[in-house]
Amino acid sequence: MQSISPTDAHAIAGAHLLDVREASELEQARIDGAQHIPLGELVARLDEVPRDRPVYVLCHVGGRSAQATQYLEQQGVDAWNIDGGIVAWYRAGLPVTMGEGA
């Protein structure tokens, strides 16, 4: 499985971010512009995931995104797990929209 640090993923111009957390988690914190498909819906919504460019997957701390990344790789997607999820993204000082209804 391919993985990447939050800082390196953020530095990629036009990177496609896929957030596989639950909708309730997005109310706490989210990355503007990231695509949201909860892990439990990923198989049914696979057609929504781009195949023409790399996809950088994140969740809260990296467990669910690792599962999603492995599945996407099996489906032929150039997928990368963002190490540490949104927690590491936030701790790296990268932009996060915080708060209810974020």
For the segment 58-66, the average pLDDT, to the nearest whole number, is 96
Domain of 76: which CATH number?
3.40.250.10
Which residues belong to the active site?
Answer: 59
- Residues 6 or more apart whose Cβ sits within 8 Å of residue 20: 37, 38, 39, 42, 57, 58, 59, 64, 65, 68
How many domains does one find in the chain? 1
Tell me how many degrees the CA angle 14-20-25 measures, rounded to the nearest 5: 110
pTM (2 decimals)?
A: 0.94
Range of the domain at 59: 3-98
Give the count of beta carbons closer than 10 Å to the beta carbon of residue 7: 14
pLDDT in tens, 17-56: 999 999 999 989 999 999 999 999 999 999 999 999 999 9
Question: Closest Cα to residue 17, out of 27, 26, 6?
Answer: 6
